[in-house]
Amino acid sequence: MQLKKGQIVEFDIEKIAFGGNGLGKYEGRVVFVAGTMPGDRVRAAFTKIKDSFSEADLVEVVKKSPDRIEPKCKFFERCGGCQFQFMPYEMQLQIKKQQVIDAFERIGHLENPPVGEIIGCDNQYYYRNKMEFSFGYDEKMEFALGMHLPGRRYDILDLTECHLESEFSSEIVNTVREFMKNTGWPPFKYSVGEGFLRALYIREGKRTNEVMINLVTSDDLPKDFEEKIMEFGEMIKKLAGKNADGKEIKVTTLYHSKIICKRGVRSQIKETLLFGKRTLTEKLILKNGDELSFEILPQAFFQVNTFQAEILYSQVVDFALRKTNNVIFDLFCGTGTIGLFLAKHAEQVFGIELNLDAIRTARENAQLNNIFNIDFMVGDVGKLLHQMKDRPSLIVIDPPRMGLTKEMIGKMADFDAQTIIYVSCNPATCARDYALLTEYGYKMQEIIPVDMFPNSAHIECVCLLER
């Protein structure tokens, strides 16, 4: 039978594919459908037809899976910020663990991969310490502050609740929305490059109960900006709420960031501190008692799940301490969190990162925590490895989603490090890189999946390789 785009068919969903879409089969053909789960019987319309697979949009769930639960958020089916709220959390964890196993079997060519129990998150909701909400217009061209609708470049879903960061965060969003609507300031229209309001960033110190707000706009300031922004600041100062433990949480920092765009010139960001501290302070406490403090600037990267980051880094340190390490390389070190924890257990750590701002923050964090046996270098990891004179016993890598290049793996292997700890946010590329590392004599000892983002399709893992 010849299949056509737009054709509606009915079939059962058998599993969740990597990336979060449901996978079913129609007349022997694999079909991916977003918003479905194992056990669903669905009607779906074909949107893409390839030789080996097809994609389809969900039309309706004819028969719900017996495992389906009611999503907590009323915006779940439209938002796209969460994919799995209709699924019991234990089921989410087992699906993610199986995806890690499948990746290492299929891509890494590893029989019976040593995948340990997945480490779940104690807080299925309100776990994020940073959220970005966009100003814009909804489908009716009404003022909106929320998230981009899936598959829509410009339409914004006007969110009045979100269960990812905190209830206080939702209160801030709703308060800011009403204030900005009353000012008459227009949202920025990316299609024509005109307007003022761009985004609202909210950061929370989950261990310090501090909150940083960053209002991001264009540089086309309204005439009443100075008057209204002072009024806005006074309003924000009065906001206060409770965290998950019932402790008071309040705004300690308010920034206004202007994005300056000129034709032919790279965009610039000018930050103005409206009130409060220059940075947001956060702490990370590992299972072994190691504790570090971090001062976070508006644009700085920091793991968005504080408590689960502690679990992730604890696993890295646990793997590292199974042997004595004099010199450690921390590749793709970001703001230096992993390297700083490892520095307490080594003679010398070298961190390498391409992003200059991240390296500056890493050096500040080292000084803040009185750690002096770590050097941070800015530049391309592959190129800087050629310049390294020291011989590490341990190499820790935490690369971006695309993983490593063959050349990088070869140069890394030239150091003959006994141990590699690979922290991955993409099991598929991690498994691919592992297959290449086996050519240099490395063997996988243990893989620990860590769920950093409940109700989403993302999964991280910490891998221990020995030569």
Amino acid at 98: Q
CB count within 10 Å of CB 98 equals 16
Encode 360-399: b = buried (16+ Cβ within 10 Å), e = exposed: ebbbbbbeebebeebebebeebbebbeeeeeebbbbbbbb
8 A C-beta contact, residue 121 and residue 159: no
Q: State the catalytic residues.
A: 425
Strand arrangement of the beta sheet that strand 348-353 belongs to: 374-378, 348-353, 327-331, 394-397, 419-424, 460-466, 443-450
Is beta strand 197-204 parallel, antiparallel or unpaired with respect to 210-218?
Answer: antiparallel
Q: Which two tokens stand for residue 15?
A: 């599993």
φ/ψ of 110, rounded to 5, equals: -110, 115
Q: How far is CA 366 from CA 128, 150, 353, in A?
A: 24, 40, 15
Q: Which two tokens stand for residue 37?
A: 């789960």
Helix (H) or strand (E) holding 409: helix 406-414
How far apart CA 394 and CA 181 sit, in angstroms, is 54
Distance of CA 43 to the CA centre of its chain: 32
How far apart CA 235 and CA 221 sit, in angstroms, is 20
DSSP state of 185: P
DSSP state of 301: -
CB count within 10 Å of CB 18 equals 19
8 A C-beta contact, residue 42 and residue 36: yes
CB count within 10 Å of CB 460 equals 26
